[in-house]
Structure 1
Amino acid sequence: MVKQIAIIGGGIIGATTAFYLSDLQGNENVQVTLFDDDTGQATKAASGIISPWLSKRRNKRWYALAKRGAELYPELVKAAQLSDRAYQQSGTIVTRKSHDDLLALYHEAEIKIQHTSAMGNVELLDADEVQRRMPLLTNAPEGIFVSGGARIDGANFVTELLTRAEQNNVQVSHQRVSLTADGSLETHDGPRKFDRVIIATGAWMHETLQPLGLNIKVRPQKGQLIDITINMPNRWKDMPVMMPESMSDIIPFNGGKLVIGATHENDEGFDLTPKAAARKQLFKNAQAFIDNLSESQITDMRVGTRAYTDDFAPFFGVVPMLPNFLIGGGLGSSGLTTGPIIGYFLAQAILGGPLDDWSQYTKPVSRYIV
């Protein structure tokens, strides 16, 4: 008997779960409907860097999850036939303000690379070499190049992933739905019952789960970024991305688009209004490395709302006392890295495939419910 599966939320977790439910072994036993209205979605407003290996974060579960997420990407990109507009392994340049700190980080990278093949190659670069590899820079810092790093465009990634899922018989419904007390979904066509429900509504998860009598501990965080157009096509193609210490990421995309961001604003709630102060700060961060920029080159400003937990850690699993409901969220600023592997795990659980020990990646879901 074919089981009816609902996914609420079409961001990075929801879209990846939908694709894997249409692609993994056992997909013929499920019919999947994904509901999403796009409002404020962090993924579609985001561009980012997939390169978690030299992060300053010391949360072991987070690192294990992010590491698995980075390892998954090449397989996912191949399986879903995603274009380089969505994802491209460009290499990442990581910086530190202190030369001694950079050397210490390089030695750490040399150790990690011995058992982390997804990192690729690691090189210590002086400022001249960084500038050669990123010729748009006028004030290049020294850095560490990690060849396995990649850039991702959230909107293109999700759009292409859901297109593949729809081709594999997933239904995508562009509407906002709500749960009822008995676990049904209230849709535009009336209430519907599903055998399993996956909730991936990000910062809105608190609102989503309230009808079930659950209080989830997530909070919204506003993220803003800017797009800058630079005309230097002959020297632009396949440029690496840069993660400067305590500054905005520098993310060149083929074609002359440069993305700077993103902000982390905890007191803005669900406000999606672009702010002049954020635009100014992001542009200033870009000018620290590219001093010949003009504000007239800013072509777009995007705004999204991330979900954060009080311990800054993602979570996923079965909802306590409600075995037909699974959730995944609290991704914070690492959502583009950790979201797909969570979607993969959730799809495996639905299809009855072999499961990893999730406790190495996340605390119990009950930890995030009041």
Structure 2
Amino acid sequence: MQKQIAIIGGGIVGATVAYYLSADPTLSVTMYDDGIGQATKNAAGIISPWLSKRRNQRWYALAKAGAALYPEIVADTQMGMSVYQQSGTIVTRADADDLETLYQLAIERRQAAPQMGTIEKLSAAEVQARLPLLTAPQAGVFVSGGARVDGAKFTEHLLQYAEKRNLVRHKGKVKLGEQGQLLTANGQMNYDTLVLAVGAWLKPLLLPMKLVADVRPQKGQLIELQLPQTWPDDVPVLMPEGERDFIPFTRSKLVVGATHENDQGYDLQVSSLVEDDLFASGRQLDANLTRDQITTVKVGTRAYTRDFAPFFGPLPDNPHVLVASGLGSSGLTTGPIIGKLLADYVRTGRHDWSAYQLPVETYLRSAD
């Protein structure tokens, strides 16, 4: 008899869990998702964690593993360049000493992360040569292993791939009962394992089980522009000092963003002030941008914890219920490896994730 698995949430974690589990014929995999406010679909899409200033070594180990996993998934599922492109990333600095420090950090970290590829220190003129859109370039460090990913296309590609195997998808909201029962519009559904990959919505989802998750919503907005010129497929992503990230996608789409707005709850309304700020940031890098080139303003809700670290795994008192949340602005980088680790646990019942995170119970408390 097949083991029944339900995945709640179709973002980066849920889609990756579904992709891996759907390959196992001993499992029957069902997904429930409403897609509202999903961070994955509204993320900037930079995969380049190696030069981060974050001091959390567990997070860095997780992010490094996530970045290394992408090429494997892309090759196995035959994704196109409009979904994922290892085009390289450029991180800029105005101060020459800061730039040298960044360069030395890159050289040091490449020893344990060969997927970083080639590392180069570039002058402002060399940065502009790599990214001709720029009208005010700064010197920077180029990392050839950096990539850009379209989160919405990536997850949909994985889910369609999984559906060809044994995934069944349902749209709509679900709730949990006191013991972790899954309550749907069609009544209670019984599953051997539940995977709760709902990001910022984990806290309200767990409340019927009298559990409070240390998860807070963070609003993120970005703008997409359609430019008259085109550029090569391998034009790099720019992570500038003091401005929003600048991500040229294939041919003529440019993304600028994203914001990190706390204390906005689950608000998904576009802010004209934020749109103005994003456009102004883009103009600092490319003075030729015009407002009529903006085609889309995207809004999503990230999940973050008090220490800005993700957590994932089985609930201490309900091991058939798995959770994942708190990925923050690095969700597209850490999400796939978290999904793979959860899928491995579903299949084997074993895990040792101490290198990647604090225990799950660190982020959970009783509501009583």
Smaller-chain TM-score bracket = over 0.9
Match of 2:356 in 1: 361
Match of 2:189 in 1: 192
Does 1:121 find its partner at 2:127?
no
5+ residue gaps in structure 2?
A: none
Match of 2:14 in 1: 14
CA distance in 1, matches of 2:331, 2:242: 19
- CA deviation digits over 1:128-150, x for unaligned, max 9? 11111101111111100000000
Match of 1:304 in 2: 300
Q: What is the CA distance between 1:171 and its match in structure 2?
A: 0.6
Cα distance change of structure 1 residues 90 and 353 upon mapping to structure 2, 3 Å threshold? farther
> What letter matches 1:121 in structure 2?
T
Q: What is the CA distance between 1:354 and its match in structure 2?
A: 6.8
Superposition RMSD on alpha carbons, in Å? 1.1
Q: What is the CA distance between 1:232 and its match in structure 2?
A: 1.4
5+ residue gaps in structure 1?
A: none
Does 1:134 find its partner at 2:145?
no
Match of 1:284 in 2: 280
CA distance in 1, matches of 2:96, 2:360: 41
CA distance in 1, matches of 2:167, 2:63: 27
Match of 2:79 in 1: 82
CA distance in 2, matches of 1:265, 1:201: 19
Secondary structure in structure 2 of the residue aligned to 1:256: strand
CA distance in 1, matches of 2:144, 2:233: 16
Secondary structure in structure 2 of the residue aligned to 1:83: coil
> What letter matches 1:368 in structure 2?
Y
Task: Map 1:1-80 onto structure 2 (within 5 A).
Answer: 1-23=1-23, 27-80=24-77
Secondary structure in structure 2 of the residue aligned to 1:340: helix
CA distance in 1, matches of 2:77, 2:34: 23
Does 1:344 find its partner at 2:340?
yes
Does 1:223 find its partner at 2:220?
yes
CA distance in 2, matches of 1:98, 1:57: 20
Q: What is the CA distance between 1:353 and its match in structure 2?
A: 7.5
CA distance in 2, matches of 1:7, 1:101: 44
Is the 8 Å Cα contact of residues 13 and 339 (structure 1) preserved in structure 2? yes
Match of 2:270 in 1: 274
Q: What is the CA distance between 1:349 and its match in structure 2?
A: 0.3
CA distance in 1, matches of 2:82, 2:206: 34
Cα distance change of structure 1 residues 331 and 17 upon mapping to structure 2, 3 Å threshold? same
Any runs of at least 4 consecutive aligned residues in structure 1 with deviations exceeding 4 A, and if so which? Answer: none
Q: What is the CA distance between 1:184 and its match in structure 2?
A: 1.7
Match of 2:141 in 1: 144
Q: What is the CA distance between 1:47 and its match in structure 2?
A: 2.8
Q: What is the CA distance between 1:97 and its match in structure 2?
A: 2.6
TM-score (norm 1): 0.97
Q: What is the CA distance between 1:172 and its match in structure 2?
A: 0.9
Percent identity, aligned pairs only, is 54
Cα distance change of structure 1 residues 200 and 22 upon mapping to structure 2, 3 Å threshold? same
Is the 8 Å Cα contact of residues 87 and 233 (structure 2) preserved in structure 1? no
CA distance in 1, matches of 2:235, 2:349: 39
Is the 8 Å Cα contact of residues 183 and 193 (structure 1) preserved in structure 2? no
